[in-house]
């Protein structure tokens, strides 16, 4: 009797376990078939792409263009200010070039104060210590210290090119024999006349050289006209001249056809020949 009751109890327990297992499996199947709309999007993997079951909203957009322009403008303004300072000092340096080295050195120190040698134990460019074999040298435009290996040199011709960008080489040659002056740079023009040697150089540092070279490139880009622009300008000149001559040619033809004697036939042929040549030049461009 006792064994029979134990067997029935064990069978009921197994039945309850199987029932709970079946119910749990049904619950999982129902959750998979009917997902909640509050849940995360379900991705269905297909053959070649991943498809989203419903459309998603666009997230937060952020535009940093104005912030970038603000940073760029600050950087450009800083470069412009520093470059203008160097050009002003450069213009002063080439105004009065003394043949006496001591006077020349004192004049260069008066343009911009030099940093004391004792304040710079190492070269900022190569980080090597100064001594008997490596002497202190100063930039003539900012007064900073560097060694001879880290120094850059610019000629006075290059300096005059930067301080007088709007004057061509031919005009500078004419100014040597004429008293023409430019407002604000009369001393610079006098220095062009007084300087007899073109082999003198100015010692500058790496940073000043970078700013001057960048300014020189900007001047070249500003003054240089591409070949395509030059051809287009010539084309426009020819077309403008043709537009002026064609009405005159028509007037001469109408005058001759009406029997008037204001124009000669030879004049009409010459004008026609000129218009034809201009048309050929236009076609060539």
Give domain limits for the chain.
66-165+200-223, 227-284
The answer to whether domain 66-165+200-223 has CATH 3.40.50.300 is no
In terms of phi and psi (left: phi > 0; alpha: psi -120 to 50; beta: otherwise), the region of 237 is: alpha
With 50 as the cut, is the pLDDT of residue 23 above it? yes
Cα–Cα distances (Å) from 129 to 11, 116, 136, 140, 274, in that order, read: 95, 15, 10, 21, 76
Is residue 56 very low, low, confident or very high in pLDDT (cuts 50, 70, 90)?
A: low
Is residue 151 very low, low, confident or very high in pLDDT (cuts 50, 70, 90)?
A: very high
Give the whole-angstrom CA distance, residue 114 versus residue 123.
Answer: 15
pTM over 0.75: no
Give the whole-angstrom CA distance, residue 94 versus residue 188.
Answer: 7
List the one residue out of 131, 115, 126 whose CA is nearest residue 151: 126
pLDDT digits (tens, 9 = 90+) for 219-251: 888 877 788 888 888 889 999 999 999 999 888
Is residue 201 very low, low, confident or very high in pLDDT (cuts 50, 70, 90)?
A: confident
Is residue 105 very low, low, confident or very high in pLDDT (cuts 50, 70, 90)?
A: confident
With 80 as the cut, is the pLDDT of residue 19 above it? no
Rounded CA Rg of the chain: 43
The pairing of beta strand 145-146 with beta strand 50-52? unpaired
The per-residue pLDDT for 139 is 92
Cα–Cα distances (Å) from 116 to 49, 119, 121, 136, in that order, read: 70, 6, 10, 9
pLDDT digits (tens, 9 = 90+) for 273-284: 999 888 888 888
The per-residue pLDDT for 16 is 63
């Amino acid at each position: 009797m006792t064994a029979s009751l134990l067997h029935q109890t064990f069978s009921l327990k197994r039945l309850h376990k199987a029932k709970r297992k079946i119910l749990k499996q049904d619950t999982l199947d129902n959750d998979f078939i009917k997902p909640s709309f509050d849940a995360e999007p379900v991705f269905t993997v297909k053959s070649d792409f991943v498809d989203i079951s419903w459309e998603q909203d666009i997230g937060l957009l952020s535009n940093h263009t104005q912030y970038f322009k603000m940073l760029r403008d600050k950087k450009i303004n800083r470069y412009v200010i520093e470059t203008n300072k160097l050009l002003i000092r450069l213009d002063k340096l080439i105004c009065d070039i003394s043949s006496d080295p001591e006077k020349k050195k004192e004049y260069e120190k008066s343009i911009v104060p030099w940093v004391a040698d004792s304040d710079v134990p190492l070269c900022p460019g190569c980080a090597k210590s100064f001594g008997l074999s490596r002497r202190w040298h100063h930039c003539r435009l900012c007064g900073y210290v560097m060694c001879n290996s880290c120094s850059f040199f610019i000629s006075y011709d290059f300096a005059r090119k930067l301080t007088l960008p709007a004057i061509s080489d031919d005009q500078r040659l004419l100014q040597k024999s004429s008293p023409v002056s430019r407002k604000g740079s009369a001393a610079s023009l006098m220095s062009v006349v007084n300087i007899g040697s073109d082999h003198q150089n100015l010692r500058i540092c790496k940073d000043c050289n970078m700013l001057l070279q960048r300014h020189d490139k900007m001047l070249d880009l500003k003054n240089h006209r591409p070949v395509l622009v030059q051809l287009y300008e010539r084309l426009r000149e020819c077309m403008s001249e043709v537009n002026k001559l064609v009405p005159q040619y028509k007037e001469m033809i109408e005058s001759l056809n009406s029997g008037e004697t204001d124009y000669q036939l030879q004049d009409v042929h010459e004008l026609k020949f000129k218009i034809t040549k201009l048309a050929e030049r236009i076609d060539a461009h």
